[in-house]
Amino acid sequence: MTRDELLTRMNAGRERLWSAIDGLDAEALALPGVNGEWAAKDVLAHMACWEEHASQRLRLIAEGRAEQIHYYGSGEIDDINAQVFAERRPWTVAEAEQALRLARRRLLEDLAALTDEQLGSSPAGIPVLAWLAADTFEHDQEHLPQITAWRERLS
């Protein structure tokens, strides 16, 4: 995958996500049931967290400190998701949306700072493009069906 293909897929995935919640008011977006007890706003806050992590990794790569990147095991991911849910659950819909927009903006800035060689690298044997896809457009695709099904149940 090239940088341009990555950006195209990231933009398309995010557009589909925003479209899935378009027209819903803050009250609806705060209702649980999208993913268990998670509301749509909680999913947005969760996604912002993982894009924040991705930005931190990209900055480490740009600074020549890729060896400091921590790759999470599945148990750690579950723990982080639970912690983020607990910490960010009190957030308003506006705060969650703003965090996701800001995380994406920073991620794009950090991505632009990487050379093609850095973007194509594989610190610790894990390709940057693979985890970047997982934390962006694939993450959007993971949660989109949940949001879509939840929205249909609201109707």
Report pLDDT for 124: 84
Helix ranges (H only) for 26-73 are 26-29, 40-62
pLDDT computed for residue 74 by the predictor: 81
Mean pLDDT of 91-120: 97
| C-alpha 123 chain-centroid distance | 20
Confidence of residue 147 (pLDDT cuts 50, 70, 90): very high
- pTM, two decimal places: 0.94
Q: How far apart are CA 151 and CA 100, in angstroms?
A: 20
Percent of the chain with pLDDT over 90: 91
Query: pLDDT tens digits, residue range 31-64?
Result: 999 999 999 999 999 999 999 999 999 999 999 9
Q: Give the pLDDT mean for 124-129.
A: 91
Q: Is it the case that residue 73 has pLDDT exceeding 90?
A: no
In the chain, beta strands by DSSP E: 32-35, 38-39
